[in-house]
Amino acid sequence: MQAWRKKGPLGKLHNIATWILRSPQRRERFAKVVKQPLPDSPVLVQLVGNATRWHSDVDALERAFILRIPLDGFVALAAKEKRQRLDGRRKGKGNETENDNEQDPEYVSTDELTIDDWEDLKVISIILTLFKRVSLYLQGMSSNRNWANGYLSQVLPAMDELLSHLEDAKIRYSDPTIYSTHIATSINHAWDILDKYI
């Protein structure tokens, strides 16, 4: 969990999702919460990116924005219940407290997403959406089925388009008074990685 937290809001979202999915009881409780505002929606659609589908983070973000209110409420309630349990233990055992909350798998309050975190996630989603579109296009999943996709002659222009997209994002999201420095760092890392292959 600590390693994922270093990845910023996307890592915090990953921690929340894996924390919910790690326990059948939490999955069931979360399903009940989600069915309230979204009665016709499948509850536990993927909220965690997948290493084998690198654009799956965009899918996870899209789902997270649909579930934003239930996610925030569920994590806030879990954090409140955790604090109450700790307070109860402190009262019952004098000054004894849990030594390391970070090691406790129930400890999720560190991953609560703030309004700024959600804004960062929106920016990340905007940036990654083009990557998803290009990826699907090069896999032959273009919206125009009459085009053949995936030729090498299409890959290099697509990579140029992604580099230009990242260069624009560097400028657009560079103001540290508005955007997290984590965003700018991530854009620079993505640009460096993509630039190596062109």
CA dist 69 → 65, 87, 142 (Å): 8, 27, 33
Q: What is the pLDDT of residues 144-181, one digit of tens each?
A: 555 566 677 788 888 999 999 999 999 999 998 988 88
**In terms of pLDDT, which residue wins out, 33 or 9?**
9
- Give the separation between CA 196 and CA 198, rounded to whole angstroms: 6
Residue the block writes with tokens 């940036």 = 127
Beta bridge partners of 50: 53
97 sits in the region (left: phi over 0; alpha: psi -120 to 50; else beta) called beta
Q: Are 24 and 104 found together in one domain?
A: yes
Q: Are 166 and 185 found together in one domain?
A: yes
Whether residue 54 is predicted with pLDDT greater than 90 in this model: the reply is no
Q: Are 125 and 29 found together in one domain?
A: no
* Domain final residue pick, 111, 144, 173: 111
Whether residue 19 is predicted with pLDDT greater than 70 in this model: the reply is yes
Q: Are 64 and 141 found together in one domain?
A: no
- Give the separation between CA 57 and CA 65, rounded to whole angstroms: 12
Total-model pTM: 0.78
Whether residue 101 is predicted with pLDDT greater than 50 in this model: the reply is no
Q: Are 107 and 121 found together in one domain?
A: no
Residue 74 near residue 107 (C-beta atoms within 8 A): no
- Domain residues for 73? 2-111
- Total domains, the chain: 2
Whether residue 33 is predicted with pLDDT greater than 60 in this model: the reply is yes
